[in-house]
Structure 1
Amino acid sequence: MDFTSREAEQRYAELAAAAARSVIGLDFDGVLSPIVDDPAEAHIHPDGRGVLVDLAEVVRAIAVVTGRPARQALALGDLDEIGREIADHGKELFVFGQYGNERWSSTNRRVVSPRPPQGLSTFERELPRLLRRADAGEAHVEEKGLAVAVHTRRLPEPGAARDRLLEPMQQLADRHGLALEPGRNVIEVRAPGMSKGNAVRTLVEEQDAGGFLFAGDDLGDLDAFDAVEELRDQGMPTLLVCSLSEEESALAERADVLVEGPDGVLELLRRLTRDAGE
């Protein structure tokens, strides 16, 4: 765990002092779960449950903010059961799935989800032909209900394949009124206007937060970083955490703390739990 500056160390100290009023926002993949070739096998870190339950005792709320469908994150993260334990301490766990399009909480234990965006079904029908033309026919296509993600991790040159797909997928998304979000060897297409930044703003308003930590690892977390920096400019104690990856470094230059994957994230959260309780 490395602080990126002396100012970052001070930000951590201020957040620890304000922990009881703070919300902790966490991406799932790469933050609570190791990155794996098969997204269906991305289970939460074995220590995640205990760390989150302990952390909940010293903060206002915890939120998992992910591009995954909420139900999928709940299953892979055992978040339903973790939410029960957190609720026993009088606190709340939130899951914002599909970049905030879906929502679940340990109080209201059902997933609230809108209808799929117009144009998505047509986009999905046209996608296989696009992939074949881009020599990426073997890419893994993940249908999320409200979005579709094309994973290039299994291809021989995943980064080059992702870059090759960006322009034609953007053009196809534009034709159907959809938004495109590139990530770590993945490109996701979904309805415009939803982002992790909006999820951050919703949490702050609803929880009357007096502090905010967000930990991410990928391009899809940039909007959340933007929202947290807005809160910082307004005088709120905040901390930005980057879970490092060899494949993506966009967040590192903006982070206050750099950690090595889920192990590093959990180490930081343990430290925050200790320091907030002193």
Structure 2
Amino acid sequence: MQFPTVEGEHQYDALVRVASRTVVGLDFDGTLSPIVDDPTKAHIHPDASAVLVDLAAQVDAIAVITGRPARQALDLGGLEEVGDAIQAVGKELFVFGQYGNERWSSSQRRIVGARPPRGLATFERDLPRTLRTAGAADAYIEDKGLAVAVHTRRLPDPDGAFARLLPPLSELARRHGLVIEPGRAVIEVRSPGSHKGMVVERLAADRDAQGFLFAGDDLGDVEAFDAIGDLAKQGVATLKVCAASSEQSALIPLADVVVRGPEGVLDFLRQFAQDAQAGRS
């Protein structure tokens, strides 16, 4: 665990004091699950289930907030079983998929989602031509139902393909009334109007949270970090945790705590749960 500033240590201590009224928000890929070449095989870290259940006993609620479809996150993370265990200790697990357009909870047990955005079908029709023009015809296309993700990780030059694709995909998305979400060797195209920061704001209000911790690793988590900053201005105890990697460093200067990948996140959450329990002893 690394605190870039003394202020980060103070924020951690303040959050421990209100742990029982704290919501813990977690990204999935790169935070709970290691980044892999095939996104359909990005299973949750093997230690994550036990850590989340132990943590749940010390906090108000846990929320997985991801760009993935909620069903994918539930299956890859075994989160329905985790939700059962968390429910058994009287707490709640939420899964917000597709940047908040889908919602599942351990108490309701069903996914509530939006309809595919207008313009997505025509975007997908025009996508192959754009990929060919950019010299990335073999990029892996992931259809998420409410969004489309273009992955460059499997290409010979992932970074170069990403750089070539970003401008034309941004323009194509704009023409179809959509927005892009750049990530680690992936460009996601989806409807405007929802992002992780909005989920953080709604969840904090719904739970009347006195504390909010969010851990993420990528550009798609910037809005969540911004929302955490706004909550801090309202007097909520907050902490922004960056799961740093060699591929992405955008969140490091914004973070209160920097750890190394999913293993670092889980080590941090173990320590937080232990400190919260000790504080109530």
- Distance in 1, matches of 2:148 and 2:30, equals 19
* 1:186-222 deviation per Cα after TM superposition (whole angstroms, max 9, x unaligned): 1001010110000101110111111000000000000
Give the Å deviation of 1:232: 0.8
Matches within 5 A, 1:34-113: 34-113=34-113
Q: Please give the secondary structure, in 2, of the residue aligned with 1:2.
A: coil
- Distance in 1, matches of 2:174 and 2:113, equals 23
- Distance in 2, matches of 1:170 and 1:135, equals 16
The residue type paired with residue 93 of structure 1 is: L
Give the Å deviation of 1:163: 1.3
Q: Please give the secondary structure, in 1, of the residue aligned with 2:113.
A: coil
My pick for the range that moved more, 67-76 or 125-134, is 125-134
Matched, 1:135 2:147: no
- Distance in 2, matches of 1:61 and 1:128, equals 42
Give the Å deviation of 1:233: 1.3
- Distance in 2, matches of 1:187 and 1:16, equals 36
* Corresponding pairs, count: 278
The runs of at least 4 aligned residues of structure 1 exceeding 3 Å deviation read none
| Structure 1 length-normalised TM | 0.99
| Structure 2 length-normalised TM | 0.98
Give the Å deviation of 1:48: 0.4
* 1:244-272 deviation per Cα after TM superposition (whole angstroms, max 9, x unaligned): 11111000001011111111000000000
Give the Å deviation of 1:178: 0.5
Task: Give % identity.
Answer: 63
Task: State the match for 2:252 in structure 1.
Answer: 252
Matches within 5 A, 1:176-191: 176-191=176-191
Q: Please give the secondary structure, in 2, of the residue aligned with 1:12.
A: helix
Q: Please give the secondary structure, in 2, of the residue aligned with 1:104.
A: strand
- Distance in 2, matches of 1:163 and 1:103, equals 32
- Distance in 1, matches of 2:160 and 2:199, equals 31
- Distance in 2, matches of 1:166 and 1:261, equals 25
Task: State the match for 1:212 in structure 2.
Answer: 212
Q: Please give the secondary structure, in 2, of the residue aligned with 1:24.
A: strand
Q: Unaligned 5+ residue runs, structure 2?
A: none
Q: Please give the secondary structure, in 1, of the residue aligned with 2:110.
A: coil
- Distance in 2, matches of 1:167 and 1:260, equals 31
Task: State the superposition RMSD in angstroms.
Answer: 0.6
- Distance in 1, matches of 2:228 and 2:135, equals 39
Matched, 1:200 2:200: yes
